[in-house]
């Protein structure tokens, strides 16, 4: 664990103590780059707090107030994501400069919700990004309170179902209309749209390779950390993937297409439940191009 991670971990333990003082709290963990030990000067501190029952505003406010920090926002319950977010800043650049400290982000969930997410992903093979990201946070996280509960979740999540990999690859591995890169180049070297297309395909490859390697999605903010997870990948994948934009546009598009084809080959070998031929047909499809009017009606027979 590097030095930026160490001092962030020390601050996280102070935050944990404030929340864990409430008997309704079942467990607390720290996630993100601090838990993985490679935080840098841009890193905030991310904690997950799990409650036996839904927290009241006073429960969360009491923890924050006891820390003497600069509150940014206690967000109301998010019905879509089923959590409560607390954002505040700890420390200050100077005593008369509020809200200049390090950002602390606390995601509050119920224990019941976490159990349900585990069931959704591990038993019903739900490929939802947010659910995977939460599980990845627990798997990669460091328990600060309630370690028995968190470690039980870690143990459950360690069994990554092949059906989940197949569901993710089927959803994320479909690459539509790749032929358009030629159109973007011919239409006045439209590199904005071309690069947008290439980035979209690159992200899909990352999702597919995470699934192939039985790794839960945890975001792409730390590309090197994602690439390091790939024991199964096209040859020299990290270097080829990162060097893509050093190539001329047409070569980059052709180069990426080769990476897609090689990735599909790996999917076919390691995840036979995926209909790879369908993915290949969609990826390789080319819209007919016409410089002159095509034959119509009786002209077709001629």
- Report the pLDDT averaged over residues 232-244: 96
The pLDDT score that the predictor gives to residue 298 is: 78
Q: Are 12 and 153 in a shared domain? A: yes
Could you list the residue range(s) of the whole structural domain that residue 53 is in?
Answer: 3-159
Q: Which of 145-149, 184-188, 261-265, 298-302 has the lowest mean pLDDT?
A: 298-302
Residue 103 lies inside a defined structural domain of this protein:
yes
CA atoms of 10 and 5, how far apart (whole Å): 9
Q: Evaluate if residue 253 carries a pLDDT over 90.
A: yes
The pLDDT score that the predictor gives to residue 297 is: 82
Residue 293 lies inside a defined structural domain of this protein:
no
The pLDDT score that the predictor gives to residue 300 is: 78
Q: Are 121 and 263 in a shared domain? A: no
Q: Evaluate if residue 302 carries a pLDDT over 70.
A: no
Tell the burial category of 5 from Cβ atoms under 10 Å away from its Cβ (0-12, 13-18, 19+). Answer: buried
Q: Are 143 and 222 in a shared domain? A: no
- Report the pLDDT averaged over residues 267-280: 97
Using a pLDDT cut of 90, give the percent of the chain over it: 96
What dihedral do alpha carbons 49, 53, 58, 60 form, nearest 10°? 10
- Report the pLDDT averaged over residues 147-175: 98
Are 111 and 54 in contact, with CB atoms under 8 Å apart? no
CA atoms of 10 and 20, how far apart (whole Å): 15
The pLDDT score that the predictor gives to residue 299 is: 78
Closest Cα to residue 170, out of 241, 281, 267? 267
Residue 61 lies inside a defined structural domain of this protein:
yes
User: In the Cβ-directed half-sphere of 64, how many Cα atoms lie within 13 Å?
Assistant: 22
What digits encode the pLDDT tens for the residues 55-67?
999 999 999 999 9
Residue 257 lies inside a defined structural domain of this protein:
yes
What lies within 8 Å, CB to CB, of 136 at 6+ separation is: 215, 216, 217, 218
CA atoms of 50 and 114, how far apart (whole Å): 8
Are 225 and 5 in contact, with CB atoms under 8 Å apart? no
List the CATH number of the domain containing 125: 3.30.460.10
Residue 252 lies inside a defined structural domain of this protein:
yes
Give the mean pLDDT of the chain. 96
Q: What Cα–Cα distance (Å) separates residue 258 from each residue in 56, 172, 244, 265?
A: 53, 17, 12, 11
- Domain final residue, candidates 132, 159, 186: 159
What dihedral do alpha carbons 259, 265, 267, 273 form, nearest 10°? 150
What lies within 8 Å, CB to CB, of 59 at 6+ separation is: 22, 24, 51
What digits encode the pLDDT tens for the residues 189-236?
999 999 999 999 999 999 999 999 999 999 999 999 999 999 999 999
Q: Are 110 and 181 in a shared domain? A: no
What digits encode the pLDDT tens for the residues 6-21?
999 999 999 999 999 9
Q: Are 226 and 132 in a shared domain? A: no
- Secondary structure string (H, E, C) spanning the chain: CCHHHHHHHHHHHHHHHHHHCCCCEEEEEEEHHHHHCCCCCCCCEEEEEEECCCCCHHHHHHHHHHHCCEEEEECCCECCCCEEEEEEEECCCCCCCCCCCEEEEEEEEEHHHHHHHHHHHHCCCCCCHHHHHHHHHHHHCEEEECHHHHHHHHHHHCCCCHHHHHHHHHHHCCCCCCCHHHHHHHCCCCHHHHHHHHHHHHHHHHHHHHHHCCCCCCCCCCHHHHHCCCCCCCCCHHHHHHCHHHCCHHHHHHHHHHHHHHHHHHHHHHCCCCCHHHHHHHHHCCCCCCCCCCCCHHHCCC
- As for how many domains the chain has, the answer is 2
- Report the pLDDT averaged over residues 151-175: 97
Q: Are 119 and 251 in a shared domain? A: no
Residue 299 lies inside a defined structural domain of this protein:
no
The pLDDT score that the predictor gives to residue 301 is: 67
């Amino acid at each position: 664990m590097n030095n930026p991670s160490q001092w962030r971990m020390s601050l996280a333990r102070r935050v944990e103590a404030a929340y864990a003082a409430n008997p309704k709290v079942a467990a607390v963990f720290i996630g993100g780059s601090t838990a993985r030990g490679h935080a840098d000067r841009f890193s905030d501190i991310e904690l997950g707090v799990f409650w036996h029952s839904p927290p009241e505003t006073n429960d969360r406010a009491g923890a924050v107030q006891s820390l003497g920090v600069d509150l940014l926002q206690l967000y109301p319950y998010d019905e879509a994501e089923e959590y409560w977010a607390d954002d505040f800043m700890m420390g200050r650049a100077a005593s008369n400069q509020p809200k200049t400290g390090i950002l602390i982000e606390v995601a509050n969930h119920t224990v019941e919700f976490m159990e349900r997410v585990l069931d959704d992903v591990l038993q019903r093979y739900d490929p939802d990004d947010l659910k995977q990201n939460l599980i990845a946070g627990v798997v990669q996280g460091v328990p600060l309170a309630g370690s028995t509960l968190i470690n039980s979740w870690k143990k459950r999540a360690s069994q990554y179902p092949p059906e989940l990999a197949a569901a993710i690859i089927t959803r994320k591995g479909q690459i539509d209309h790749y032929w358009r890169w030629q159109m973007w180049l011919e239409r006045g070297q439209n590199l904005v749209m071309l690069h947008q297309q290439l980035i979209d395909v690159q992200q899909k490859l990352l999702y597919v390779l995470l699934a192939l390697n039985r790794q839960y999605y945890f975001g792409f903010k730390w590309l090197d950390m994602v690439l390091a997870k790939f024991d199964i990948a096209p040859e020299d994948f990290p270097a080829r993937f990162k060097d893509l934009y050093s190539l001329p546009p047409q070569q980059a598009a052709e180069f990426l297409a080769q990476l897609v084809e090689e990735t599909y080959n790996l999917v076919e070998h390691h995840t036979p439940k995926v209909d790879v031929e369908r993915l290949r047909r969609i990826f390789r499809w080319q819209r007919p191009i016409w410089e002159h009017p095509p034959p119509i009606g009786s002209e077709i027979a001629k």
